């Protein structure tokens, strides 16, 4: 009997979803929010961009014949505030590299917020784990019946 020639077995291809999972994105944002609020003193958007909400300046106001000034609020780059942002850590803009007292602010924030941050982080993780299991049938219905009808099956998953 002739010996069979051993051919290479091809590796099985793993199916991979290329769609954007909204639930995983929400979980990632909330965990990032917990960490940046507790340790950096700002939200994730403010941490990555350096734009923080607060007083941006003063405008003159005329009311009842009197001239005064009123503080205006909005988003602006404010180096040296009590929060720490990525541009301050990297030395972008008018901030020094490492920011102003970055190490001491981080240490103070960690001491004050370590336990609440751990509890909030665990709460977010446990909440999403339980929520995914409880709502799995609803999520499957949305993914398999509703999204294909609107033509978004390949783009988004819930």
**Does residue 154 or residue 94 have the better pLDDT?**
154
Neighbouring CB atoms inside 10 A of 36's CB total 21
Cβ–Cβ under 8 Å, residues 126 and 83: no
Q: Which of 118, 155, 158, 135 is nearest to 18 (CA)?
A: 155
Is residue 35 over pLDDT 70?
yes
Is residue 61 over pLDDT 70?
no
Is residue 81 over pLDDT 70?
no
Give the tokens for residue 133.
């299991």
């Amino acid at each position: 009997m002739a010996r069979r020639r051993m051919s290479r077995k091809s590796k099985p291809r793993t199916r991979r979803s290329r769609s954007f999972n909204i639930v995983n994105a929400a979980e990632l944002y909330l965990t990032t929010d917990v960490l940046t609020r507790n340790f950096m003193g700002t939200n994730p958007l403010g941490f990555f961009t350096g734009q923080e909400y607060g007083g941006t300046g003063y405008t003159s106001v005329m009311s009842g014949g009197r001239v005064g000034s009123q503080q205006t609020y909005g988003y602006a780059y404010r180096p040296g505030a009590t929060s720490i942002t990525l541009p301050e850590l990297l030395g972008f803009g008018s901030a020094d590299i490492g920011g102003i007292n970055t190490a001491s602010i981080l240490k103070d924030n960690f001491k004050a917020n370590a336990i609440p941050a751990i509890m909030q982080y665990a709460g977010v993780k446990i909440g999403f784990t339980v929520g995914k299991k409880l709502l799995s049938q609803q999520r499957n219905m949305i993914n398999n019946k509703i999204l294909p009808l609107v033509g978004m099956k390949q783009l988004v998953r819930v």
